[in-house]
Structure 1
Amino acid sequence: MNFELSDEGRMLQDGLRRFLANAYDATGRTEAADAPGGFAPRIWSGLAEMGVIGALFREEVGGFGGTGFDIALVFEEMGRAGAVDPLLDTGILGGGLLAACGAEIDGVIDGTVQIAVAMGEPGGRYDPMRVATKATPDGDGWRLDGRKAVVVNAPAADRVLVTARDGDRIGLYEVAPSTLDLRAYPLVGGGMAAEVTLDGAPATRLSDDASDLLRAAIARATLAQCAEALGLMEAIRALTTDYLRTRKQFGRPIGTFQVLQHRMADLLIEIEQARSAVINLAGHVDGPDRDRHVAATKNLVSEVARLVVEEAIQMHGGIGMTQEYDLGQLAKRLSMVEHRFGDAMHHMQRFIALTAA
């Protein structure tokens, strides 16, 4: 099987890597951290102008990609730069769900519209099908009552999609952000989220039974999250390698000590295993055995992410924990990978259940 990128893929990868390297310098990171929405609008506009958002959608809805390998390519580069832009929430989750419902996605691909998807609930753990929010018919529309937790990108969203239960079915609804009670807060790894309260919020129903659409969108979002983690691992590995070459102790670089060489070798092997898992998931994310591949990949990537953070900080010593050094920011974002779309234990149990079925 040929894993080499096409000419178009190499062009996108090279262009995106150069753009992000320039955008996420010290000034860009500060700009993103200080922005009310948790990301820099200037950088987001640049991504849209490059066609990065369009690479996440198929041609029939106005994009030029949309395959698993397109998603993996884009998000690995986003992770390598430690980018905090809401590409996953607006593009993969929000835009993907709208396209699957046949709804308008005007403004998504050109970057003028931000989307948040409210599906997690307090006490729901990692199961998007545990939905207590209720949808009630109201004339020609609907009203929603309930609470949603950790709604990423909600403070900046122009469109909010909400899952709610109508009897035994879980539907997908669109709610105007102005009708929601939002309690916004910053995320540890960058970006913003909010706790959302719906108290009779007027809504438009996009799908009366969205369970399969949600599972498909979450599978693609999990691929994006794992690819971003892979990029973060590569960035952390490069920082650690450079540090071991330059930091001296007893008159020579600490990277010449055998025990650290062995630890770095083990780390490289683990990162390559994670890369193989991401490539495998990219090839199966739209296939019939999708869920089992999602569970296996997220479990492995979560375990490797934790190991990479621990080893890199230990080999750096105290400097690895400082806010001014890139490792500290990259490590915080990589640490949060495990806590979205299911942690390692959740996906281990899920994999066992799916394999035994």
Structure 2
Amino acid sequence: MSDTIEPNELRDSVREVLADHRGDSWAIPGEEGRGLDRALWAQMAQLGWLALGVPEDDGGLGLGIAHLAVLYEELGRELAPVPALSTLALAGLLGAHPDAADREGHLAAIVEGTCLAALALPASHGALTQEGGKVSGSLRNVPFADVADLLAVPVRAGPDFALALIPVVAEGVHVAARPLVDLTRSSAEVEFAAVLLAGCTVLPLSAAEWSALEDHAAIATAADAVGLAGGLFEMTLDYLKTREQFGRAIGSFQALKARMADWKAKLEAATALVRHAAAQVEAGGAGAAASGARAYAVEIAAGFAEDAVQLHGGIGFTWEHPCHLFLKRAKLNEQLYGSPTYHKERVARLAFCEGAFAPHDAPARAEPAPLLQA
């Protein structure tokens, strides 16, 4: 199937739909944030986007991370408030586990858009403890956990980890929404009080599968970053061409042209690196490419978003202009599923150490408090 769908055709189609959904102007949310765009999520399901990574035998399109990265990039470009990363990563994981309990039900619900997933990883969130078939503990700052139907969380099983798929309505699960600086996404702290695992799908993942899950999260975050940076670059360039000072468009000033040219070169490099890394991972390449692209892309996107506020002048600092939405989303991307420092260290481990990097070798790293609003 991947041979019959050209990435650029997919990109054009997705971009057109998302632009039409947004309309001619950016809707600026209040301080409480935008939460979840259920109308967009339903449209994504209707158009088959949620089936991109689902195996064809299960009613999906059977595409890999290289095609999913196209979707992630375009969703970032439009600052879409949807849990695409966690839901599609889970769909791909279930597709690779034909013996998983209730696999068909979960996949069908994901494709139909009736199952939204939240995902936590051991390296960024830690893991729950398991005793007597019950799990307990808390996970902080789990993206979209406040709107999710299914919580995909790491559970310690002896020296290893398993991924437990726990319904948010299960007895003993308590979800408390936490405000984010990023107004285009949501987050929550989840408490598990002796939650019974009987009846839940539990996936005993190998070290290679955990590493592949980290690769997926890294590629998705990096693609979101270069997508939003690309959209913001076009917005900034249009502003520089129309805003006049001293009777001239400010974009004609040499200092501003040099700054934009410099950012253009960096953004093109980041975009190419992310797309190449996605292709490498899909072909079975090392995860070092995913983490390397992720570390570079999120830093470049955040740096440009900061400068874009300056390039827009006074209007860039106002609440009514969308510049701050791009900046806040870019800054959160730096910390999602591991900081740039963590991913640089992961590159070193994967590039210079023998064997795949196992998640239980990594210290638990909670999402940092600065992501939350005071």
- The aligned counterpart of 1:228 is 224
- The aligned counterpart of 1:187 is 180
Q: Determine which of 192, 199, 219 is the counterpart of 1:198.
A: 192
- The aligned counterpart of 2:11 is 13
Partner deviation per Cα, 1:204-257 (whole Å, 9 max, x = no partner): 352234543332122112212111111101111011101111111122111111
> How far, CA to CA, are the matches of 1:209 and 1:279 in structure 2?
26
- Secondary structure in 1 aligned to 2:52? helix
Q: Determine which of 290, 294, 299 is the counterpart of 1:294.
A: 290
> How far, CA to CA, are the matches of 2:14 and 2:284 in structure 1?
31
Quote how far apart the aligned CAs of 1:268 are.
0.4
- Secondary structure in 1 aligned to 2:238? helix
Aligned AA for 2:187? Answer: A
2:166 matches 1:175: yes
Partner deviation per Cα, 1:181-206 (whole Å, 9 max, x = no partner): 11112333222211111110112352
> How far, CA to CA, are the matches of 1:216 and 1:7 in structure 2?
23
Partner deviation per Cα, 1:46-85 (whole Å, 9 max, x = no partner): 1111111112333233221422221121111111212111
2:108 matches 1:106: yes
> How far, CA to CA, are the matches of 1:8 and 1:345 in structure 2?
34
Question: Are the aligned partners of 2:309 and 2:317 in contact in 1 as well (CA < 8 Å)?
Answer: yes
Alignment TM-score, normalising by the size of structure 2: 0.83
Say if 1:290 and 1:60 are closer, same or farther in 2 by CA, change over 3 A: farther
- Secondary structure in 1 aligned to 2:66? helix
- The aligned counterpart of 1:25 is 23
Matched residues, percent identical? 29
Question: Are the aligned partners of 2:153 and 2:163 in contact in 1 as well (CA < 8 Å)?
Answer: yes
Report 1:50-199 matches (<5 A): 50-92=47-89, 94-102=90-98, 103-104=103-104, 105-119=107-121, 126-127=123-124, 130-131=126-127, 133-137=128-132, 142-178=133-169, 179=171, 180-189=173-182, 190-199=184-193
> How far, CA to CA, are the matches of 2:227 and 2:121 in structure 1?
27
> How far, CA to CA, are the matches of 2:92 and 2:85 in structure 1?
10
Unpaired segments ≥5 residues, structure 1: 121-125
Alignment TM-score, normalising by the size of structure 1: 0.87
2:278 matches 1:282: yes
- Secondary structure in 1 aligned to 2:142? strand
Partner deviation per Cα, 1:146-165 (whole Å, 9 max, x = no partner): 11111112122222222111
Quote how far apart the aligned CAs of 1:27 are.
8.1
Partner deviation per Cα, 1:98-131 (whole Å, 9 max, x = no partner): 33333231210121111122335xxxxx456x53
- The aligned counterpart of 1:272 is 268
- The aligned counterpart of 1:309 is 305
Task: Identify the structure with bigger relative contact order (alpha carbons < 8 Å, sequence gap 6+).
Answer: 2
Aligned AA for 1:158? Answer: D
Question: Are the aligned partners of 1:173 and 1:207 in contact in 2 as well (CA < 8 Å)?
Answer: yes
Give the aligned length: 340
- The aligned counterpart of 1:41 is 38
> How far, CA to CA, are the matches of 1:112 and 1:187 in structure 2?
25
> How far, CA to CA, are the matches of 2:29 and 2:45 in structure 1?
18
- Secondary structure in 1 aligned to 2:114? coil
- The aligned counterpart of 1:239 is 235
Quote how far apart the aligned CAs of 1:42 are.
1.2
Aligned AA for 1:175? Answer: I
Query: Pairwise CA RMSD of aligned residues?
Result: 2.5
Quote how far apart the aligned CAs of 1:306 are.
2.2
- The aligned counterpart of 2:361 is none
- Secondary structure in 2 aligned to 1:149? strand
Unpaired segments ≥5 residues, structure 2: 354-374
